[in-house]
Amino acid sequence: MNEIQFSDCVQACMTCSLACSHCASSCLKEQDLEMMRECIQRCLDCTDLCQLCARMVQKQSPFIKEICELCAQACEYCVEECGHHEHEHCQQCAEACRRCAAECRKMAA
């Protein structure tokens, strides 16, 4: 693994964390809050895992592969839900999660 890979993964994780956090906050303002409940939960979980992953990659933890794999799974789980909603914040979140999952999979390989 090289410095650029680390940087790309950390950047993707932080971007994804921000997108998920924004999505969860925006979902709380939607009319049908009950319909958005699962989206909010998945976004909050993904936010936390992305932040953890970024920190662990930055300090070159011996658990990078496992954490990156878990982060990729959380991102894909979030995409499953956000991808069903037409809200712009959900679509932006889904795209950030796709990019993050791809970068995390590179690190986990």
Q: Among 13-17, 46-50, 83-87, 95-99, which is the least confidently predicted range?
A: 83-87
Locate 89 and state its tokens: 């914040």
pLDDT digits (tens, 9 = 90+) for 3-44: 666 789 999 999 999 999 999 999 999 888 889 999 999 999
Neighbours of 69 (CB within 10 A): 16
CA–CA dist 56, 86 (Å, integer)? 33
The model's pTM is 0.92
Structural domains of the chain, with CATH: 3-108 (1.20.1270.360)
**Residue partners of 76: CB distance under 8 A and separation at least 6:** 97, 101
